[in-house]
Structure 1
Amino acid sequence: MRLTPDEGDLTARAFARLDARLTRDTGRPVALALSGGGDSIALLRLATEWARARGRSVLALTVDHGLNPESGGWTAFAAEAARAAGADWCGLSWDGDKPQTGLTAAARAARHGLIAQAAREAGARVVLFAQTADDIAEADLMRSEGSTLGRVREWSPSPAWPQGRGLMLLRPLLGERRAVLRDWLAGQGADWIEDPANVDPKFGRSRARQALAGAAPPAPEEARALAGGRPTMDGEAMVNVRRDIGARALAAALVCVGGGATPPRGARLQALTARLRAGENFAATLCGARIEAAGDAVRVMREAGDLGRRGTAPQVLTPGVEAVWDGRFTFRAEHPGWSVEAARGRLASLSDADRTEINRLPAATRGAWPVLIRDGALAPVLAGEGVERRALVAERLRLALDETTHEDDLISATR
């Protein structure tokens, strides 16, 4: 079969995008999300060919959501395709009850969480996803009709938190058309799965796909300068921002400081941005974070009341195992008997030295600071012998604001 210029150049374009982001000749695998659909099979073949030439291995990860009676067969097909291409393969399952509403979003979140966890356990720092230019156009149309989907970028942090901490997603096919990928696969005699959900009009993505059939897709979003400058760290877990900060940077600051998984979007974020730009002095809470604006000073901190409303139980530390607390800190204890919880309700029990230290924080966030308790003792401490604490906010914010461009930049994120 004679290839069109687009098809013939596909390998070169994909290799160039992979070369621009990934390290050569290292023992770490590159993870790859493999559904068995045409886009992911094309990515699998391109990535494994690249990896063989660059001294890398590929770990393909397939999630069985259990939502279709054929899903077991699809998983088996993906496993066979991965191994035939020379990749390692791991199957993952979304078990348990499924929600009655918001199933698509829940399935997407579960997929990202399972893939992130497996990738980290395998030592990968980057996961390849097979979104195309058509996916960008479909998501744009869905947002115009009220969806809260974010706009995907070629290089972005994993949306799973805290499973995806320090992990980046790379979409090397984001500038490609879906039809070009399938023509390329057909030229190789390759098979792939066609999920019937892709043409089922009850799904918003399917309706958008049908509405845009034949239309030219938009170009992938490139990294660009952030309006209003970048947030700056204030200690381990607070952030300072300017009043003219852009919505994207403010959303990143809020979700990182709040420790949650979903950044704020829509009307509430726009209203908060507008209040800042109007010069208003105020205190507000969004996404588990508190923002205090007074004059030129605007500070974002964890909202202690949010932790109190959740009624979070003490988190017991298992010796030698890293535990993530409140999405903002990790703890690792050398010996048993330690637990960590919020300082809220325990501030008066701290020693004079610890109380002096914690009083350096703004009053509204002191109760959200972590304290340690040993063997059920009544008095908490800010630090314990043999317990390592690491803050996650600064590193997470760095990844969210495009301050990394390459796999090598992720060393500090996974240390």
Structure 2
Amino acid sequence: MSGGSDSVALLHLAHEWAVAHGRLLAVLHVDHGLNPDSRVWQDRVREMARRLGAGFQSARWDGPWPDTGLPAAARVARHARLADMARAAGARVILTGHTADDVAEGRWMQAEGSTLGTVRDWSPSPAWPEGRGLMLLRPLLAERRADLRDWLEARGIDWIEDPANTDIRYGRSRARLALAEGAGAGVPQQDRSAPADGITADEWGVIRAARDTGPRALAFGLVVAGGGPRPPRGDRLARLAERIVAGENFTAGLAGARLIAEAGGLTLVREAGDYRRRGEPVLDLTPGVEAVWDGRFALTAEEPGWRAVPLAGRASRLGREDRAVVAGLPTAVRPGLPVLIRDDETGPVLAQSRARVEALAACRLALGLGQVEHEADLKCRREWRTDGRAPIL
């Protein structure tokens, strides 16, 4: 919650709903440190929460602040901190105060060349891996900012005015000015794209899709297979899509993933060559503490001293039982599997033999492609048993 009119209206409306339904409400605030009054704003938001009897958490972003793209960097930092606080509070849904004006402003910015994504009323947290399993709900997307301010004024409720909202150095501020001058009209329609069918992930993180999978679902499938947070560039994705539509069988790398196009469909796995270009993901594990490795698997070690690395280049050192498991998997998926080694070079062993392993791909796909429509359906954990061979749903 920023303390602006939209978030203050959301706070009061959410409080009324929470009281009526016997639900707990926590106010999450991110101090970007970009305004000298930011500490004062934090105190005001804390007081708003206190008056309503809601919990309050705040986190600060201390940079580094880029010379260009500051709003985008601040947005990434904000979502990461909101996700961390929500998980700490045991929440699965974060409410945000986006309005119809935000949707219109975003579309104006897109028309001006911005790569800003489309705002939807129900979507996964964009922070990865911090936001895993968290959804964003935007219940005010059909409301106008002016109407919300009228509602607040009628109740004697004030809000914070951020001067950055009128600073024309920022695209959002230029969009507001242009729309106020009549550059756009009407309440924008929400994105109601149908959930993508025919794209699935198994317990090893292998994603399979039909050849007629749409560009949006294909792009997100590549992101999930690669374990990263950002979709591939549109021009590169368009070239891949053209080859798929043309019926070509081929292999290509994009967004940290390998796409294998065959007559029977598409297979998406982690691109092992990406490890050579960017370096191996190495993760030290603390017993009993869940940590995400390579953006694709959540690992919780049972013993001290283990660290997670990719299988790539280590398969010949596996024990006989682990080699038998790996031999039964598609060749392309093997290099990207997590294995554990010790500082004394004990190992490698397949991660699931020494840790609880949750494959994140299936859940992330379901959330990102609109296949989870209600809070009650967010329990989509999929993990390997400690015997290492079968998933738990």
Same fold (TM over 0.5): yes
- The corresponding residue for 1:346 is 314
Contact 1:245 1:273 (8 Å CA) reproduced = no
Bigger shift: residues 267-276 or 160-169 = 267-276
Runs of 4+ in 1 over 3 A off after TM superposition: 359-365, 383-386, 412-415
Q: Does 1:241 align with 2:209?
A: yes
Which of 56, 66, 75 does residue 33 from structure 2 map onto?
66
SS of the equivalent of 2:372 reads coil
Aligned residues: 380
- The corresponding residue for 2:66 is 99
- The corresponding residue for 1:396 is 364
Taking the aligned partners of 1:198 and 1:414, their CA distance within structure 2 comes to: 42
Taking the aligned partners of 1:152 and 1:89, their CA distance within structure 2 comes to: 26
How many angstroms does 1:334 deviate by? 1.9
- The corresponding residue for 2:323 is 355
Contact 2:281 2:293 (8 Å CA) reproduced = no
Taking the aligned partners of 2:319 and 2:210, their CA distance within structure 1 comes to: 36
Taking the aligned partners of 1:106 and 1:55, their CA distance within structure 2 comes to: 36
CA 1:191–1:233: 2 relative to 1, 3 Å: same
CA 1:149–1:389: 2 relative to 1, 3 Å: same
- The corresponding residue for 1:79 is 46
Contact 1:304 1:366 (8 Å CA) reproduced = no
Which of 151, 169, 187 does residue 217 from structure 1 map onto?
187
Which of 43, 48, 51 does residue 10 from structure 2 map onto?
43
Which of 184, 192, 202 does residue 169 from structure 2 map onto?
202
Q: Does 1:297 align with 2:265?
A: yes
CA 1:245–1:313: 2 relative to 1, 3 Å: closer
Amino acid aligned to 1:101: T
Amino acid aligned to 1:258: G
Contact 1:259 1:288 (8 Å CA) reproduced = yes
- The corresponding residue for 1:152 is 119
- The corresponding residue for 1:141 is 108
Q: What aligned pairs does 1:4-403 form with structure 2 within 5 A after superposition?
A: 34-213=1-180, 215-226=185-196, 229-312=197-280, 314-383=282-351, 385-403=353-371
Amino acid aligned to 2:4: G
Taking the aligned partners of 1:225 and 1:36, their CA distance within structure 2 comes to: 34
Structure 1: which 5+ runs fail to align? Answer: 1-33
SS of the equivalent of 2:247 reads coil
SS of the equivalent of 2:101 reads helix
Identity of aligned residues (%): 55
- The corresponding residue for 1:28 is none
- The corresponding residue for 1:6 is none
The Cα offsets for residues 158-192 of structure 1, whole Å up to 9 and x where unpaired, read as: 00111111111100001111111011011111111
Amino acid aligned to 2:105: E
Contact 1:260 1:287 (8 Å CA) reproduced = yes
The Cα offsets for residues 349-387 of structure 1, whole Å up to 9 and x where unpaired, read as: 122332332233443442221111145235311146542
SS of the equivalent of 1:57 reads coil
SS of the equivalent of 2:339 reads strand
How many angstroms does 1:223 deviate by? 4.3
Amino acid aligned to 2:307: S
SS of the equivalent of 1:183 reads helix
The Cα offsets for residues 295-337 of structure 1, whole Å up to 9 and x where unpaired, read as: 2331111101112322235322101101110011111112212
Taking the aligned partners of 1:245 and 1:188, their CA distance within structure 2 comes to: 49
Amino acid aligned to 2:191: E
Contact 2:360 2:382 (8 Å CA) reproduced = no
How many angstroms does 1:127 deviate by? 0.3
Contact 1:307 1:368 (8 Å CA) reproduced = no
Taking the aligned partners of 2:275 and 2:232, their CA distance within structure 1 comes to: 18
Provide TM-score, normalisation by structure 1: 0.87
Bigger shift: residues 275-284 or 346-355 = 346-355
SS of the equivalent of 2:349 reads coil
How many angstroms does 1:98 deviate by? 1.6
Amino acid aligned to 2:328: R
Amino acid aligned to 1:140: R
Amino acid aligned to 2:278: R
Provide TM-score, normalisation by structure 2: 0.92
RMSD over equivalenced CA pairs, Å: 1.8
How many angstroms does 1:222 deviate by? 2.0
CA 1:199–1:340: 2 relative to 1, 3 Å: same
Contact 2:211 2:244 (8 Å CA) reproduced = yes
How many angstroms does 1:411 deviate by? 2.5
Taking the aligned partners of 1:159 and 1:144, their CA distance within structure 2 comes to: 22
Bigger shift: residues 205-214 or 56-65 = 205-214
Amino acid aligned to 2:190: P
How many angstroms does 1:267 deviate by? 1.9
Contact 1:35 1:63 (8 Å CA) reproduced = yes
Taking the aligned partners of 2:284 and 2:168, their CA distance within structure 1 comes to: 47
How many angstroms does 1:294 deviate by? 2.1
Contact 2:372 2:378 (8 Å CA) reproduced = yes
Amino acid aligned to 2:81: L
